[in-house]
């Protein structure tokens, strides 16, 4: 059996396990405390003191979760203690992309009686992960009060953490906006597709109507070239300046790379499976930007384990 076949089987078993966890004999849903009853509980006193970075998007399918998981690993390899929160509470994906199988998840914390510390997992390179649930409608439609309670609960697990990365849901829904609003830094991910950068602008517009700690930044994923990414960023920046009077900072790009979908099938981060790929080099440069390093000029080699390579040079058997 091929590794891809084995991985697909593992993914199917994990999905079945999630379904079994959320099911009861006779097809009835498990009895869990309702959100309405639990709202009587006071939230923790304050939010975490560690820096919080939210990665969001106006449109699904732009590779946001891949950016989060691989960025967390790149930062961990530079000595940063990272905690990843899967903010898509009802449609979990972070654990699948990392190839980990949680015994407990946010459903057990929000609707059950598990402390947040009980559901934190260790992922690749020592990153810590708070996994979300899959297919739980009550969590997918979580209100702002319960979202705030989750954010404040992060303070209970921040002692061994330097940075908290939040993978928000896609779109301009209340849930996604609330999580982004709580961050010290917001990165809006788009691709060169017109629908994607149009929705990225829509997300920036919605965020600009809320009180924020920062002005959102822009990252262009799946770019065919640096020039293409720069053109996309200029278009979004121009519209944001004209209609919102916002100066959107361009935080770089991640090149379109065949190693990325191959790694998704294997349920492994592409930084691990293809560490010298173009996408990996771009992620290392993004990690440098998160750590406060100055952006490099166009044409300067990308930081990482080695310089930028072409897709033809990506080793197949890594």
Intervals of the chain under pLDDT 50: 1-8, 10-17, 19-20, 22-40, 299-318
306 and 271 in contact (C-beta within 8 Å)? no
Can you give the pLDDT at residue 175?
87
Closest C-alpha to 260, from 77, 11, 62: 62
Can you give the pLDDT at residue 43?
56
251 and 286 in contact (C-beta within 8 Å)? yes
Can you give the pLDDT at residue 44?
56
pTM of the entire structure? 0.81
Domain boundaries, the chain: 51-291
Can you give the pLDDT at residue 138?
82
Can you give the pLDDT at residue 296?
61
Can you give the pLDDT at residue 212?
93
157 CB-near residues (< 8 Å, 6+ apart): 83, 116, 117, 120, 128, 130
Superfamily of domain 51-291 in CATH is P-loop containing nucleotide triphosphate hydrolases (3.40.50.300)
Q: How far is CA 255 from CA 6, 166, 194, 262, in A?
A: 28, 22, 17, 15
Residue where the block lists tokens 């700690």: 213
Residue where the block lists tokens 């990392």: 98
Can you give the pLDDT at residue 141?
79
Q: What is the spatial order of strands in the sheet that 185-190 belongs to?
A: 121-122, 128-130, 82-86, 163-167, 51-56, 185-190, 217-223, 249-255
Can you give the pLDDT at residue 90?
84
Q: What DSSP assignment string belongs to the chain?
A: --HHHHHHHHHHHHHHHHHHHT--GGGPPP----HHHHTTSPPPSS--SSEEEEEE-SSTTSSHHHHHHHHHHHHHTTT--EEEEE--TTB--HHHHHT---SS-HHHHHTSS--HHHH-EE-GGG-EEE---BS-HHHHT--HHHHHHHHHHGGGG-TT-SEEEEEPPSSS-HHHHHHHHT-SEEEEEE-SSHHHHHHHHHHHHHHHTS--SS--EEEEEEESSHHHHHHHHHHHHHHHHHHH---PEEEEEEE--THHHHHHHHTS-HHHHSTTSHHHHHHHHHHHHHTTPPPPPTTSPPPSSSS---GGGS-TT-
């Amino acid at each position: 059996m091929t590794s891809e076949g084995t991985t697909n089987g593992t993914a199917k078993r994990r999905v079945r396990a999630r379904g079994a966890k959320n099911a009861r004999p006779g097809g009835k849903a498990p009895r869990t405390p309702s959100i309405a009853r639990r709202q009587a509980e006071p939230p923790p006193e304050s939010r975490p003191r560690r820096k919080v970075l939210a990665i969001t998007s106006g449109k699904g399918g732009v590779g946001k979760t891949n950016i989060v998981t691989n960025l967390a690993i790149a930062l961990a390899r530079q000595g940063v203690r990272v905690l990843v929160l899967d903010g898509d509470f009802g449609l979990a994906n972070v654990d699948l992309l990392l190839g980990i199988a949680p015994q407990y998840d946010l459903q057990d914390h929000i609707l059950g009686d598990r402390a947040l510390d009980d559901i934190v997992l260790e992922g690749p390179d020592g990153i810590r992960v708070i996994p979300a649930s899959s297919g739980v409608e009550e969590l997918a439609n979580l209100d702002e009060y319960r979202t705030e309670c989750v954010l404040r609960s992060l303070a209970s697990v921040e002692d061994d953490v330097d940075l908290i990365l939040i993978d928000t849901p896609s779109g301009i829904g209340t849930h996604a906006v609330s999580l982004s609003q709580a961050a010290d830094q917001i990165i809006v991910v788009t691709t060169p597709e017109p629908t994607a950068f149009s929705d990225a602008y829509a997300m920036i517009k919605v965020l600009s109507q809320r009180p924020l700690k920062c002005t959102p930044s822009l990252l262009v994923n799946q770019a065919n070239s640096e020039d293409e990414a720069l053109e996309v960023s200029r278009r979004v920046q121009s519209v944001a300046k004209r209609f919102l009077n916002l100066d959107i900072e361009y935080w770089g790009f991640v090149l379109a790379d065949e190693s990325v979908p191959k790694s998704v099938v294997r349920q492994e981060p592409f930084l691990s499976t293809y560490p010298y790929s173009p996408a990996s080099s771009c992620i290392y440069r993004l990690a440098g930007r998160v750590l406060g390093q100055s952006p490099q000029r166009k044409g300067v080699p990308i930081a990482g384990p080695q310089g930028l390579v072409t897709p033809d040079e990506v080793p197949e058997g890594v």
